[in-house]
Amino acid sequence: MRFPVVSAAMTAAGLALFAGAGTARAQTSLPLTGFASLPSFAWDTPSLSPKWEGSYARISSGFQVTSGKHMRTSAGPTFGLEMGTMRQEGNFVYGIVGALDYSPTLGGYGTPSFGNVAYTRDFAGAFQIKTGVLVTPDVLVYTKVGMSAANETWRYGATSVSPPFSQSDIAVRPEARAGVEWAVTDKLTLGVEVGVVGQRLR
């Protein structure tokens, strides 16, 4: 049995660290105190002017809800790490993104009712192409398409021909997402994202 999966994630806070080419060349050494594993540009004074172009790393947290036809809805917090490089031409922003995500689900672990299915996943990684349009200097409306790999668990309820059972595997799937980001500062972003995950390829 295969079911379409729809996922919606609200990013409560994303901390983005941009490293433009000029900044990267100027940064010759890491600070010797404080957060020594990160270059000092990551901890300078935030600016209200958002920066959409350059290489970046972002840590995020939020809440994710997953649902589908004949599926029990599952929900829980999500924690992520995203890295990528973006280009900006006028109001058009585009680039490539790689992401890792962990989603401890709060629901969906019990045995589903007769004929129903429950879906949960914990760790996932994705590679995506991101394109968007700036509707204001600090608000980006975007889409992402790519591939994801996730550790998925499906729990099937009893049917007239089979008892309940579960199945866990790492699944590779195509996915498409759309969302909006508000750059509160050049280092803090709030956003909402929804997505559709396709049939598994492996």
pTM over 0.75: no
86 has a pLDDT exceeding 90: yes
Phi/psi for 42 (5° steps) reads -70, -20
Round to whole Å and give the CA distance between 178 and 195: 6
Residues 6+ apart with CB under 8 A from 89: none
Q: Could you tell me which residue, 163 or 111, shows the higher pLDDT?
A: 163
From the centroid of its chain, how far is CA 59? 10
Phi/psi for 9 (5° steps) reads -130, 135
For 177, the token pair is 């997402």
Per-residue pLDDT, averaged over 113-132, amounts to: 86
From the centroid of its chain, how far is CA 194? 10
Q: Which of 6-20, 38-52, 134-148, 157-171 has the lowest mean pLDDT?
A: 6-20
**Percent of the chain residues topping a pLDDT of 70:** 69
5 has a pLDDT exceeding 90: no
For 200, the token pair is 């598994």
pLDDT band at 18 (very low <50, low <70, confident <90, very high): low
Do 170 and 150 contact (CB within 8 A), yes or no?
yes
Residue 106, pLDDT score = 66
Residue 164, pLDDT score = 83
